[in-house]
Amino acid sequence: MLGWEFPPFMSGGLGVHCFELTRALCRLGVRIDFYMPVSGQKVESSCPSIRIIEVAKTELRPYLFFSKASQKASYGENLISAVREYWKKCEEAVVECAREEKYDLVHTHDWLTYKAGAEASRRLRMPLVQTFHSTEFDRTSWPWDYILGVEREAAEKADLIIAVSNRMKEQVMRLGAPKEKIRVVYNGVDYARFSCPQTLGKAEQNFKGGKKLVLFLGRLTEQKGPVQFLHAAKKVLSANPDVIFVIVGKGELLPLLINMSISLGISQNVRFLGFVPEEEQKKIYKMADVFVMPSTSEPFGITALEAMSSGVPVIISKTSGVAEIAKAAIKVDFWDIDKMADRILAVLKYQPLAATMSKLAEREASSFGWEKTAEKTLEVYKEALSKHAERKL
């Protein structure tokens, strides 16, 4: 399996997915060599049958900072150069390790790893499974043709494709992939990790100051809808000033969002916490009265399941993959700021509504384990191997 992130080197859902999926596959008896860039941090395997192999040092985290519209040209050149170096060294490392370790197939994630996996699978004559977590159409309103080209090639040439939602399936078909070779496998959540009781100390209580807390947690990029979140906050605060809006995450829009909170006149009720480690995230979920995920384009949305596991009432964008399976969440159009604000106010005002949503969310999230994701992924592996064997006959 070829990835870009693995804890503690991670910036979002891709790293979470690779960590949780490999661990769950390990429990099903799959042995995995997981290839990733050299992170400079201590990356440890989460299971005895998972070996972490680091190649090509890089500190770039494209899904956290990359945006064609706002970045300097030099960073774009550095990004592509770093990815190409990783492709070359990763391909060679896979082929070299295959001399001692018998591989059955290669599994790649997004455009960041496709080229290395494609070449390695060709040289080793084994099937290639490609997972799409997002596409250029999702990540930015200014798609980069180079990356689209890589994604179109992956959509065309991978033996089988995994899409993390039906929404993602449609995007992959837009890239040219035939419907017949796409399998939808939803992400999961480690329910036990987020449902466990969290003791909120005096500092946490002081942080809320007796106010209701509305939470946004995600990368501060156009795709995640933090601008819409602040506009909804303005409308909520005009009706109920005893609310604080907490934004957890970092990204290119941070300066704009800080200035926006000031220009909207709500800066006293908005807290920017930046990057927060997982242990602290669990506490923040427990502190929240409402979690809002207003993404303009969200292939899945693991944070919504984390919030639901924590028993937090959840409001999510209709343009998200998780909306396909999360029945306990309120769904709104990301552009409908009035309705978003109305729903936030309703959950904050009516305790029976909040309590019912909390109970249903927690119950529903408990059925979305990574074990199910791993089982479905293993079915795709077996299908890819079967098809490959048929072609060799």
Is position 269 within any domain?
yes
Same domain, 165 and 63: yes
128 and 248 part of one domain: no
Q: Is residue 8 part of a domain?
A: no
Total domains in the fold of the chain? 2
Residues 6+ apart with CB under 8 A from 300: 13, 133, 164, 165, 168, 186, 187, 320, 321, 322
The pTM is what?
0.90
Residue 381 and residue 345 share a domain: no
Question: In tens digits, what is the pLDDT along the chain, a chain of 393 residues?
Answer: 999 888 777 667 788 899 999 999 999 999 999 999 887 778 888 888 999 999 977 655 555 444 444 444 334 557 788 888 899 999 999 999 999 989 999 999 999 999 999 999 999 999 999 999 999 988 877 788 999 999 999 999 999 999 999 999 999 999 999 999 999 999 999 999 998 776 666 667 678 888 999 999 999 999 999 999 999 999 999 999 999 999 999 888 999 999 999 999 999 999 999 988 888 899 999 999 999 999 999 999 999 999 999 999 999 999 999 999 999 999 999 999 999 999 999 999 999 999 999 999 999 999 999 999 999 999 999 999 999 988 876
For residue 122, is it within any domain? yes
Cβ atoms of 341 and 315 closer than 8 Å? no
In this structure, is residue 287 part of a structural domain?
A: yes
Residue 173 sits in the same domain as residue 250 = no
Domain membership flag for residue 7: no
- 336 and 220 in one domain? yes
- CATH code: domain of residue 100: 3.40.50.2000
Q: Are residues 356 and 386 in the same domain?
A: no
**77 and 140 part of one domain:** yes
Q: Classify residue 3: in a domain, yes or no.
A: no
Do 316 and 302 belong together in one domain?
yes
104 and 115: one domain?
yes
278: Cβ contacts below 8 Å, ≥ 6 apart? none
Position 2 in a domain? no
Query: Both 163 and 299 in a single domain?
Result: no
Same domain for 262 and 122: no
The residue segments making up the domain with residue 291 are 191-365
* 46: DSSP letter: S
1 part of a folded domain: no
Q: From 138, 150, 133, 224, select the one nearest 185 (Cα to Cα).
A: 133
The structure tokens listed for 338 are 């009035």
Amino acid symbol at 259 = N
* Sequence-ordered strand ranges (E) for the chain: 32-38, 50-57, 106-109, 128-132, 160-163, 182-184, 212-217, 243-248, 270-274, 290-293, 314-317, 330-332
Are 327 and 340 part of one and the same domain?
A: yes
